[in-house]
Amino acid sequence: MNDDFRHDGVKNDNVIIEPNKTPDTTMPMVVYALYLISFVVGFTSVIGVVIAYVYRGKGPAWLDEHYRYQIRTFWIGLLYATIATLLVLVAIGVPLLIALAVWLIVRCVKGFRSLQEKRAPNNVDTWLF
């Protein structure tokens, strides 16, 4: 019997059929944008990681990998920023902060690109790029 009908032959109106609905990639894009905006407005990366935590686990596996990548980017970036800031006192911190900025931009661009291709980012577990 057709799934749209109950056992007594009456049509079940509660069935929602969504043909080939592609997942919405708006929120992961917003998170990447918030990370990049944090160069100008520092606290937006915190908003981005909160969004990533909230939306994690609510989509297909490849989209969840983006949220995982974004969460790792935040925490690893925070660790790198802390170390580089402490090393500013011995003059090596400034080049490290510049390297951190490049690292963050590269990770965000890679994330944007893989979102456009509707796939998970490469090397989610890496501490580099």
Could you tell me the pLDDT band of residue 20, with boundaries at 50, 70 and 90? low
* Report field, pTM of the whole predicted structure over 0.85: no
CA–chain centroid gap for 61, Å, is: 12
The residue among 23, 120, 24 whose CA lies nearest residue 72 is 120
Q: What is the pLDDT of residue 1?
A: 44
Could you tell me the pLDDT band of residue 34, with boundaries at 50, 70 and 90? very high
Assigned token pair, 129: 């790029």
**pLDDT tens per residue, range 77-122:** 999 999 999 999 998 999 999 999 999 999 999 999 999 999 999 9
Whether 100 and 81 have beta carbons less than 8 Å apart is answered as: yes
